[in-house]
Structure 1
Amino acid sequence: MIHADSGAEARLPGAGRGFSLSEGFVALRRSLVLWWLSFRAALLSLAVSVVVSLLGTGLGLLLLAPVVCAVRRLVNRQRALADRWSNVRIPACYLPAPEPIPGGRGFFARLRWIARDPQTWRDWLWLVLDPIVGATLAAGPSVLFLGGFWAIGLAFYGVPLSHEWDGLWYLFVPVRDQTTATLAGVLGLLQLPLALWLAPRAVRLHARYTRAVLAPSEKAQMAYRIEQLTATRAEAADTQSAEIRRIERDLHDGAQARLVAMGMTLGAAEHLLDSDPAAVRALLVQVRESSSMALEELRDLVRGIHPPILADRGLGDAVRSLAMICPLDVQVDIDLPGRPDAPVESAAYFAVSEVLTNAAKHSGADRVRIDIGYALGRLRIGITDDGLGGADPRRGSGLRGIERRLATFDGVLAVTSPPNGPTRVTMEIPCALSSPKTTSSSGTG
């Protein structure tokens, strides 16, 4: 609720408890925004009709996917406004987009994805209804408010206008003389507070109507959830298998090979122990150097599996250690009232590490800012760089890997990267925190 700044807040006579003029005017502006979105829905509905009529031709098939994406952007805007303005959450159960396939098969796979997604059909139903139902709900308070000013104007100019137009009515009042014109003006004065009282209620009703049209049924949400869990479980299993293979390869090609070489060197030293002590000394020096290198490789491997600093000191200090070794100027701002579970901490750490690596290699950035906090049961991580922009999860295996890693915990990744930057990567992971606050400070790497 938004109130006036002054202590003597203007309240409407007879209005509901806690209602204020500022709330009414804010809601009136919001209703105009919703009406404008309904107008855009009408234009988009016309575009969809044209594309559907052209489906028998190649042009309609080519335009179908871009139009569906445009509808989803508009629908997601409505979802966000309903959540922000009316605290009405509208779940979206879109089927995951198919992986890019070379050749023409990818195009037809995308069409099948669009056709079999129930949420897409709900979006199109909303697109048909919103220019009528949504526009009526959104425009009602504004029409009432503007009608009030028109009635007030009739109190002064209604009589000459009635004579010029051969009769004039306002609502149920025929404006014929000054008495009826004044009555119309009084009705208009009463409409102004009524419109301000109605505006917030119309905005909330609009959000509930939008949820009724767009929200999937409980059965559909359960089916979507099962499909999502099945996909994330398979991806988690594939990721774990790939990680195990990487560890095996690193051990085989790195530390294991050095240990084998050390054994062979020690064997050679054993044969030369009596005949050539100087050569034995040189071989022992070589073994010592190889053992140091093998130990360093094992430490790197352990850090790649689960960094000791992450286990010992938590996500905040682990991210600060990443900032210190990053070649970019990294500023870190962390405010965590506790520690997430170890798997969530690990996923968040490696996601930040991957984003920093991408920024150093591909973004052309000089500075990076990392913000980590916790609110509403979610671990929130924002990473912003001043690079060239153009990052796209659909084209980068690194960002897709982060998406898969976070999806295991129902986390989400959002990337905003316009041409010429800046690039902002936002990650949210639902989780609970345990243990008292251990880290909350800022730093620069």
Structure 2
Amino acid sequence: MTIDPAHDDRRGSRAHGSGRAALRGLALALAGLPLSVLCLVLTAVSLALIPVGVGLVTTPYVLAGVRTYANWRRLLAASWGGVRIPPAYRPLPPDGNPWTRTFALLGDPATWRDLGWLPVDMTAGFVTALLPAVLLLYPLEGFAIAAGLWRVLPDGYWYGFVRVDGQASAFGAALLALGLLVLAHFFTTRLLHAHFRLTRAVLGSDEETLAERVRVLTETRRDAVDTSAAELRRIERDLHDGAQARLVAMGMNLGTVEALLDKDPEQAREVLAQARRSSAEALDELRDLVRGIHPPVLAERGLGDAVRALALRLPVATEVTVELRGRAEAPVESAAYFAVSELLANAVKHSGADRIWVDLHHADGSLRMTVTDNGKGGARAGAGSGLSGVERRLGTFDGVLAVSSPAGGPTLVTMELPCALS
């Protein structure tokens, strides 16, 4: 008889996936129920206190917490179930007073969609998250009954639809448990996926998501145009103040050499050596300028090797892990490279870290990049750091950025760019 190793791998992978789905569903049920209840109760109390003025102060913070919780569940839906639920929140006034921020939040349909999702998550969401674990763990009771547990059970104990009153019926419970285990093997991951689809059905809104996508693309296009104009001005300034000035000086030196060649050959050689040094410095500056526009190693070797080369030049020990089976389009690679470059520069300058980890891989049609450091933490997007620029750069390609940086560290920045690899 011939054994197919690939078949065994697929069977083992499915069993591993069933166990993982059961554990994830159990974690979602145990953590999601109290958090959803807490968010709903705090929101109800805060809204009830608006007429007396207290709610005007507390509501923005409570609703911001609800958004954070909903976004966390969106992240889990994408990473655990492959179900993307893009947020469609309207931008808030940057420096609004409590009254303005409260009613801006309450006037956003996405806020009410989040609040409507909380009771659904407490009921149907709890059940669909718990089912994978129940389907996988409940058969253990049936096997235990057949192994002798039935002797200590009360008379007329029911396991499923099997009434256990002796060893024969205990074996029937074991057969039922075996059938449930077979069903768990095939349906556990599907049940967890159904939980995430339910979350998407309540939290997602195609019309508002499309409108938010149009708004984001409009902003990122404007940012891209502004960034391109600023980059062109920088290149012009660098050429004018750097390489161009050195080339002009080199031309003047060569003119001096021409005049001194017959009168003072020794001085002419000195000026010629100076012109040679100026040409070498101008060449180095041009290379640095070209590397800043589009690194040659990125064009020749791809994103993985370009990030590795970048890590080698850092003063902090950096470990790079790359799992890319191909190359993305050149604009996407360029955006990813400079995003990682900016994050590494931030980590070196501001985090105080002595070690950095970079991970690049492609999964589910997206290029996913993480930069982690063991520094002091406290990084926030939009706080005047380079993270806001990275977010705008990724937004041009419909990419997203998430930051986890508690005080004391570590800092984990995750980026995702939708793309296909050649």
| Interval containing the TM-score (normalised by the shorter chain) | 0.7 to 0.9
Q: Show CA shifts across 1:78-98 (max 9, x none).
A: 44555566x472523323645
Q: 1:344 and 2:344 equivalent?
A: no
Q: Show CA shifts across 1:371-421 (max 9, x none).
A: 222222222222222222222223243121111111111222222222332
Correspondence for 1:213 among 183, 196, 202: 202
Q: Following the alignment from structure 2 to structure 1, what is the Cα–Cα distance between the partners of residues 377 and 25? A: 32
Residues 260 and 139 (structure 1), Cα distance of their counterparts in 2 relative to 1, 3 Å cut:
closer
Residues 107 and 94 (structure 1), Cα distance of their counterparts in 2 relative to 1, 3 Å cut:
farther
In the other structure, the counterpart of 1:165 is none
Q: Show CA shifts across 1:219-246 (max 9, x none).
A: 2232222122112211111111111111
Contact in 2 for aligned 1:97/1:110 (Cα 8 Å): no
* TM-fit CA distance, 1:48: 0.8
Q: Following the alignment from structure 1 to structure 2, what is the Cα–Cα distance between the partners of residues 25 and 158? A: 36
Correspondence for 1:406 among 369, 394, 398: 394
Q: 1:236 and 2:224 equivalent?
A: yes
In the other structure, the counterpart of 1:92 is 86
In the other structure, the counterpart of 2:4 is none
Q: Following the alignment from structure 1 to structure 2, what is the Cα–Cα distance between the partners of residues 216 and 358? A: 36
Q: 1:67 and 2:62 equivalent?
A: yes
Contact in 1 for aligned 2:321/2:360 (Cα 8 Å): yes
Residues 106 and 92 (structure 1), Cα distance of their counterparts in 2 relative to 1, 3 Å cut:
farther
In the other structure, the counterpart of 2:117 is 126
Residues 131 and 283 (structure 1), Cα distance of their counterparts in 2 relative to 1, 3 Å cut:
same
Correspondence for 2:353 among 352, 365, 368: 365
Contact in 2 for aligned 1:94/1:117 (Cα 8 Å): no
Contact in 2 for aligned 1:413/1:425 (Cα 8 Å): yes
Q: Following the alignment from structure 1 to structure 2, what is the Cα–Cα distance between the partners of residues 349 and 88? A: 25
The farther-off stretch of 293-302 and 109-118 is 109-118
TM-score of the superposition, structure 1-length normalised?
0.72
Q: Following the alignment from structure 2 to structure 1, what is the Cα–Cα distance between the partners of residues 313 and 110? A: 45
Q: 1:43 and 2:32 equivalent?
A: no
Q: 1:260 and 2:251 equivalent?
A: no
Matches within 5 A, 1:98-113: 98=92, 100-101=94-95, 105=96, 110-111=101-102, 113=104
* TM-fit CA distance, 1:301: 0.5
Contact in 2 for aligned 1:98/1:109 (Cα 8 Å): no
Q: Following the alignment from structure 2 to structure 1, what is the Cα–Cα distance between the partners of residues 23 and 285? A: 64
Question: What secondary structure sits across from 2:370 in the alignment?
Answer: strand
Residues 320 and 261 (structure 1), Cα distance of their counterparts in 2 relative to 1, 3 Å cut:
same
Q: Show CA shifts across 1:175-214 (max 9, x none).
A: xxxxx998xxx9xx89x96999899687666544433322
One-letter code aligned to 1:235: D
Contact in 1 for aligned 2:56/2:98 (Cα 8 Å): no
Residues 130 and 328 (structure 1), Cα distance of their counterparts in 2 relative to 1, 3 Å cut:
closer
Q: Show CA shifts across 1:13-44 (max 9, x none).
A: xxxxxx99x96997598368426523432232
Paired residues, what number?
Answer: 393
Q: Following the alignment from structure 1 to structure 2, what is the Cα–Cα distance between the partners of residues 261 and 331? A: 43
Q: Show CA shifts across 1:151-194 (max 9, x none).
A: x99x97799xxxxxxxxxx9xxxxxxxxx998xxx9xx89x969
TM-score of the superposition, structure 2-length normalised?
0.75
Which of the two has greater helix per residue? 2
Q: Following the alignment from structure 2 to structure 1, what is the Cα–Cα distance between the partners of residues 392 and 327? A: 22
Q: Show CA shifts across 1:114-148 (max 9, x none).
A: 24432222001223444455457668997xx8xx9
One-letter code aligned to 1:124: L
Question: What secondary structure sits across from 1:384 in the alignment?
Answer: strand
Contact in 2 for aligned 1:31/1:203 (Cα 8 Å): no
Q: Look at both structures and tell me which one has the larger radius of gyration over its CA atoms.
A: 1
Residues 98 and 242 (structure 1), Cα distance of their counterparts in 2 relative to 1, 3 Å cut:
farther
One-letter code aligned to 1:327: P
Contact in 1 for aligned 2:361/2:367 (Cα 8 Å): yes
Q: Following the alignment from structure 2 to structure 1, what is the Cα–Cα distance between the partners of residues 369 and 421? A: 15
Q: Following the alignment from structure 2 to structure 1, what is the Cα–Cα distance between the partners of residues 180 and 31? A: 18
Matches within 5 A, 1:167-186: none
Contact in 2 for aligned 1:88/1:211 (Cα 8 Å): no
Contact in 2 for aligned 1:386/1:422 (Cα 8 Å): yes
Correspondence for 2:278 among 286, 290, 295: 290
One-letter code aligned to 1:379: L
Q: Show CA shifts across 1:252-305 (max 9, x none).
A: 111122223333444455555565544444333322222221111111101111
* TM-fit CA distance, 1:306: 0.8
Matches within 5 A, 1:194-213: 206-213=195-202
Residues 281 and 70 (structure 1), Cα distance of their counterparts in 2 relative to 1, 3 Å cut:
same
* TM-fit CA distance, 1:422: 2.3
In the other structure, the counterpart of 1:313 is 301
